[in-house]
Structure 1
Amino acid sequence: MKNRILILILFLSSYQFTMAQNKGLQWLDIELSNYEYPYSVSYLSLNIQEQELKMAYMDIKPDQYNEKNIVLFHGKNFNGAYWETTIDALTKEGFRVIVPDQIGFGKSSKPAHFHYTFQQLALNTKTLLDSLNIENAAILGHSMGGMLATRFALMYPETTQKLVLENPIGLEDWKLKVPYKPVEWWYQNELKKNYDGIKKYQLESYYDNQWKPEYDQWVNLLAGWTLNSSYETIAWNAALTYDMIFTQPVVYEFEKISSPTLLIIGTRDRTALGKPLVTEEVRKTMGLYSELGKITQERIPNAQLVELPGIGHLPHIEDFNGFINPLITFLKD
């Protein structure tokens, strides 16, 4: 009986690997050492929570530096690499661009145990800026990075010259509608992920079932990790960050933001955490970015709102011109 089970496991593993090869998937190292970023990557050593970790980042300083800096915070299902076109456009305008991979993401360390808080991630980023002798910068966050950017602006208002939130999550408190699930539940969900499931989620949630070939790379980055024998560590970190997002809302502190703020909102977006855990009736009330953008603008003092009709969760990928033009105008004002 044990031999049959072992044979079945080996067969399924071989089948999954063969299917991955057929899709052109590349096996990816846990810290993406075999995946090239668009710009040179450096590392900051961090001694936190009784362990030595490393934080990867790109620091791109243009030849015609205008003495202004901007930090780009990635979303949960991404890393610094997806900011390539944004980096190119900003450096052409003279901005120095700093793009960290947060601990647990991209090329940064994936600790076996870590207490994730937005405060800790904000502190890590402030430590990075201090190491680069950067005293102030514009702070831009997308998706989960929007929650982190908000926390950073609240903790370090003297550093945050301007705040930009691109389809941030956390514009509503999901705890009020979604039943709590422990980290183990999120972990089991992560372990089940594969190429088809990841692409289906992005197709439906990000792109309104309108797929373009250039979107493949963002599926392949996540799916390539599932081929790694250390995927359990990656999945565990992903589960811990889901718990952080769910239990640490920033929505109640928007009125305390003192930095000039720009909201760039794709109004087709319906991203919300925990939708599968609620009824269809409740689900219809969640992630309504066409309403949430306006509500958030009213909550944040001195906030501007740019809405992009028909655009979803990733304006800087789906509608780059619609994203970059108001961003550059805001940064130059």
Structure 2
Amino acid sequence: MKIQDFRSRQQTISLDGVIDEPLQIAYTDIGEGEPLLLMHGIPTWSFLFHEVIDELAKHYRVIAPDMVGYGYSDRRDRFDRSIEFQADVTERFLEHLGIERAHFVAHDIGGGVALILADRRPELVQSMVLSNSVAYDSWPVDEMLALGHPRNAKLQPEEMREKLVESFEFGLSRKERLTDDFKEGIVTPYCEPDGIVSLVRNAASLNTNHTTPLTDRLPKMNQPTLLLWGEDDKWQPISTAERLVEDMPHAEMHPMKNCSHWTPQDNPEEFASATLEFLQRIPVAV
């Protein structure tokens, strides 16, 4: 899917009740049935899921927001960018949509947000699919630490594009999956002046202290959880998934062979089919 088509079906709402003025949230909302929330990571936006949304939406109401500071949601210097704050925004966003319970399908730092909410609001999180997620002290990775330096806020668009394309190439096992449409779509919001600044702010906010306090509480997270993990990931290695399976009482693992970090792009067919197979074993919420 081209970015123009993806953007054409995004909606935008003004979300109040989080900071002292409304935040603008861009999101996709398609399909019917139980709510399924897609949470992206850094340095992506909801376009990361552009090849799986339609398949998932055959069975669920799929909601894919751009986290604040990311994609086409609010990019102003008016708020915190931490995953704790992202959890606050996600709570308010679902409340705004009238959603009391949802399945969370979350990648990278989106997985950290899901884990925070599974602990904080267990009634809100019906299940989790965590794909190459941050956890414990597995993050932030060196590349994101470097990107968060304030000097990078002055990068020119082509300089930022080069950095990002290199990152996406490194995080794909199947190099043919670095298609022109994916490259264009995934980097475009971060090649705009305010997008460059916002992405650097996002990178500067990454803090392992927001997941390490959850470590002792993982055994109390009773949500059915699938660790859908690219085996080749050098940033969030599969050993993290193996540890989560040991620590979480209702977790299971689905390794994705010949896949690295960007699993929804490396193999969207397997990503969608494994997610659906897992979710359809979970009793419908009443």
| TM-score normalised to structure 2 length | 0.83
State the SS of the aligned residue for 1:85: coil
Q: Is the 8 A contact 1:79 1:106 kept in 2?
A: yes
Q: What CA distance in whole angstroms lies between the structure 1 residues aligned with 2:139 and 2:55?
A: 35
Q: Deviations over 1:138-158 (max 9, x none)?
A: 111111111111112111101
Q: What CA distance in whole angstroms lies between the structure 1 residues aligned with 2:189 and 2:51?
A: 24
Residue 244 of structure 1, aligned match among 183, 200, 206: 206
Residue 261 of structure 2, aligned match among 313, 318, 324: 313
Q: Is the 8 A contact 2:263 2:271 kept in 1?
A: yes
State the SS of the aligned residue for 2:202: helix
Q: Which residue of 1 aligns with 2:133?
A: 168
**1:298 aligns to 2:264 (yes or no):** no
- Aligned-residue Cα RMSD (Å) equals 2.8
Q: Which amino acid aligns with 1:59?
A: D
**1:55 aligns to 2:25 (yes or no):** yes
The CA deviation at 1:57 is 1.7
Q: Which amino acid aligns with 1:96?
A: R
After superposition, residues 204-219 of structure 1 pair within 5 angstroms as 204=170, 206-208=171-173, 210-212=174-176, 215-219=179-183
Q: What CA distance in whole angstroms lies between the structure 1 residues aligned with 2:200 and 2:262?
A: 25
Deviates more, 1:126-135 or 1:250-259: 250-259
Which has the larger Rg? Answer: 1
Q: What CA distance in whole angstroms lies between the structure 2 residues aligned with 1:331 and 1:269?
A: 24
Instruction: Number of aligned residue pairs: give it.
Output: 272
After superposition, residues 131-146 of structure 1 pair within 5 angstroms as 131-146=96-111
Q: Is the 8 A contact 2:169 2:178 kept in 1?
A: no
| Matched-pair identity in % | 21
Gaps of 5+ in 2: 282-286
Q: Is the 8 A contact 1:171 1:296 kept in 2?
A: no
The CA deviation at 1:53 is 1.7
State the SS of the aligned residue for 1:316: helix
Q: Which residue of 1 aligns with 2:90?
A: 125
Q: Which residue of 2 aligns with 1:14?
A: none
The CA deviation at 1:232 is 5.3
Q: Which residue of 2 aligns with 1:186?
A: 149
Residue 326 of structure 1, aligned match among 263, 274, 277: 274
Deviates more, 1:313-322 or 1:260-269: 313-322
The CA deviation at 1:108 is 0.7
After superposition, residues 100-111 of structure 1 pair within 5 angstroms as 100-111=65-76
Q: What CA distance in whole angstroms lies between the structure 2 residues aligned with 1:288 and 1:46?
A: 37
Q: What CA distance in whole angstroms lies between the structure 2 residues aligned with 1:288 and 1:153?
A: 22
Q: What CA distance in whole angstroms lies between the structure 1 residues aligned with 2:55 and 2:186?
A: 26
Residue 228 of structure 1, aligned match among 192, 196, 208: 192
| TM-score normalised to structure 1 length | 0.72
State the SS of the aligned residue for 2:98: coil
State the SS of the aligned residue for 1:168: coil
Q: Which amino acid aligns with 2:262?
A: L
The CA deviation at 1:295 is 1.5
Gaps of 5+ in 1: 1-31, 272-286
The CA deviation at 1:110 is 0.9
State the SS of the aligned residue for 2:70: coil
